[in-house]
Chain A
Amino acid sequence: MGDLWAGLSEAFRLLVTLDSDLVEITLRSLQVTLSALLIGSAIALPLASFLAVRRFRWRRGVIAILNALMGLPPVVVGLVVYVILSRSGPLGVLGLLFTPTAMIIAQVIIIVPLIASIAHQSLRDLWSEYHDLLISMNVTQGQKMRTLLWDARRALLTASLAGFGRAIGEVGAIMIVGGNIDHATRVLTTAIALETGKGDFALALGLGIILVGLAIAVNLCIHWLGRTEQEGRW
């Protein structure tokens, strides 16, 4: 109990004093995760739409693989990205290891299957509703995909938010590929792991509380943006 109270008061202190390190790692957390979310959504949503609309031979297989990859262990992703980006790995010349870019790459790999899977489920339902109409209107495959994406945008927002939740709280992969370097690749989750390692539970808990608050704030913010857009429309 004592640790929890200490954590709460530490979180309060960090917030009130606007601790400059805290601001820095919080902004970096947001930068990495929102970039990964943007890129991941740009890949996952069209992919989900494609899988809903097109019938091709390996479709079921691809969907099964996507569903399985939803549970991809971040540590494994981190390790694979690490090996690939290492100076002695195939993409070593890019010099990306231990940079925020490497962390974004790892997070994209982690969240694409998740977003695509959830998005595919809602797009598949919408497609069964729209199927006859769009076939009869003789629209192109691209138009079908775009129509589904647009009309299911609220459900897709939820899919993306699930991706955000997974990415912002992720520590295993970004610790490995980012290296948790102070002022370069340290983010909230890796800072929490570090402080826990030092036995400074109050600071670790304080950061944890801020992380949870940040996740909730971003969720509310995106939902709110989505709703104002709806109100303007209807």
Chain B
Amino acid sequence: MSVESTAAIAAAATPSHAIAGVERVRMPRRVWVGALIVAAYVLVAVFAPLIAPYDPLEQDIVNALASPSWAHWLGTDELGRDVLSRLIFASRVDLLVGFLGAALPAILGTVLGAVAGFRGGWVDGVIMRISDVVQAFPTYILIIALVFVLGPGVTSILVAFTLIAWVAYARLIRTEVLRVRSLDYVAAARASGLRPGRILWRHVFPNSVGQTLVYLPSDIVGATLGLAALSFLGLGIQAPTPEWGAMIAAGQPYIREQWWLSTVPGLVVVGFGLGLSLIGEGIEEWTRK
């Protein structure tokens, strides 16, 4: 509390300026809490083979659908595989798709949107009309159609996400670039003979990315959920590779007796989303100062 109130007083005393003088302003505590959660997930994913008590693919039909016990902390699934080990290994593909599925569209969209906003004219027209076309389709239908055409798998999912999700980033950064581009310090940069590329990169871009940084963590959650949804529909990661969404789907028939089969992977997804949301909200608060 004290950290936040001090920061608020500091913010009130100085003119606020979007991401402006972010120096000296303390990061809100929730960012660190969120970072801790996300870091835990990353560590688990990286060290999965060391942490997981069993081979996630090893079947034990005799012991199928076992309740949690000291041997299997979260029980076993319908093929007798250890649920905890599968959850741990699933974090690898889910985090990979989450991070890349947000980062790739963010990079593509930010570059296109920044160029569109900065250059204006026909460049802007072409880029924004393409984004209109993409946006005219319902997102999930489009993703499903693309993955269906490209065939299931991590690569096609990432390609589909990138081709569709860049639009949001492009619009986000373009609006900011349009605002920043008309400010005096950009005019000053032009008047002092700096090249357009340098002006965009050094003067416009750093003052335009704030909103994108806020949006990015929540989009990682979105990508993870998107993968889970695709797997749930059978278009995502294919059996037997463990994946949270696929595990939720696989546990459905047993929801009355072995309710933990679907619920625990769901909670794992929620926990990851919570960590990222805390980071996103914290960054937003930070950029407002």
Chain A partners chain B: no
Residues on B lying within 8 angstroms of A by beta carbon are none
Residues on A lying within 8 angstroms of B by beta carbon are none
